[in-house]
Amino acid sequence: MTQRNNGSDFPHAPEGWTQAAATSLATAEGLEINENHWDAVRALQEFYSRHEDPHINARELHDALEERFHSRGGMKFLYTLLPGGPVAQGCRLAGLEPPAGSTDSSFGSVM
The tens place of each residue's pLDDT in the chain, 111 residues long, gives: 334 445 579 999 999 999 999 999 999 999 999 999 999 999 999 999 998 777 888 899 999 999 999 999 999 999 999 999 999 999 999 999 999 877 655 444 545
The reported pLDDT for the residue numbered 52 is 79
- For 79, the 3-state DSSP assignment is helix
Q: Which residue from 85, 86, 90, 82 is spatially nearest to 109, judged by alpha carbons? A: 85
* Residue 6 to residue 31: CA distance in whole angstroms: 22
Please state the pTM of the whole predicted model.
0.85
The reported pLDDT for the residue numbered 75 is 95
* Residue 4 to residue 75: CA distance in whole angstroms: 28
